[in-house]
Structure 1
Amino acid sequence: MNKTSTAIHLRFDIRASSLPEYYKERLLAASHHLITPDGVVIIKAQEYRSQEMNREAAVARLISLIQELTVEQKSRRATRPTRASKERRLASKSQKSTTKSLRGKVRRPE
């Protein structure tokens, strides 16, 4: 039986941390399941059999969480389709229309 307690609960208070203000704002604004409404990140690590390894894993997960939530998203720039792409689309539509019109019943000339 496993009788030693090797799990780690890492608690990281965002407001009391020495992170830059920009990072704090981004983390507090994010709605993530690891961040409590009070602004505390709680990570439980229990994948390894030694407490030291679990501690390192929890810190690594905290670092990756901070990096993931503070990355700046590129803003989308609206674009228009080119003239050539419009022409290709219309040509393909007319080709399909022709193909489908030829699928009808064959009528005998009278």
Structure 2
Amino acid sequence: MAEDDGRIVIMPGLAIHRDEITETFVRAGGPGGQNVNKVSSAVELRFDLTNSTSLPAAVKARAARIAGRRLTREDVIVIAAQRFRDQPRNRADALARLVAILRAAADPPVPRRPTRPTPASRHARLEGKQRRARIKILRARPVEH
């Protein structure tokens, strides 16, 4: 994840502006000693997908799907980072996680090529069906003459 002139490079040919990201700092739970109640070391990073001018529509759609429950109703990706005890490392962690989502979304999925079943697989399927049919016939009540 490289930065140049206020842009965060996702991959060659795709970058987002630094000002499209908002960060808020809150007090983190977990370890921190005497500092934990005084320092806001946890980071909540927000990236507005809908209003982003840097990303193509297809990438936005895939990013929304990949983000899952981190996506709000307003199409804002929210990433909370509190893994580390200091703010700069949490900021870098949150940004790295956003870049990972966008990088995965930038890769278009490989289209599925339909294939035909092989003769062996067709034969195996029919064998299985015949085997099940024989088992069910054995379960039936005997026919009285």
Gaps of 5+ in 1: 18-23
Residues 10 and 103 of structure 1: CA distance in aligned 2, closer, same or farther (over 3 Å): closer
For 1:97, the equivalent position in structure 2 comes to 133
After TM superposition, the score normalised by the length of structure 2 is 0.51
Q: Which has the higher strand share?
A: 2
Distance 1:93 1:43, change over 3 A: closer
| Distance (whole Å) between structure 1 residues aligned to residue 78 and residue 139 of structure 2 | 64
- Opposite residue 3 of structure 1, the aligned amino acid is K
Q: Which residue of 2 aligns with 1:28?
A: 60
What is the SS of the residue equivalent to 1:53?
helix
1:8-47 deviation per Cα after TM superposition (whole angstroms, max 9, x unaligned): 34456743x6xxxxxx20443443517x65xx76544233
Q: CA RMSD in A?
A: 3.3
1:1-110 alignment, distance < 5 Å: 2-10=37-45, 14-15=52-53, 24-25=55-56, 26-29=58-61, 30-31=63-64, 32=67, 33=71, 43-105=79-141
Deviates more, 1:69-78 or 1:87-96: 87-96
Q: Residues 95 and 2 (structure 1 numbering): CA distance in 2 closer, same or farther, change over 3 Å?
A: same
1:82 counterpart letter in structure 2 = T
The percentage of counterpart residues that share the same residue type is: 37
Higher RCO structure (Cα 8 Å, ≥6 apart): 1
Count of residue pairs the alignment pairs up? 100
> Highest CA radius of gyration, 1 or 2?
1
- Aligned-partner SS, 2:123: helix
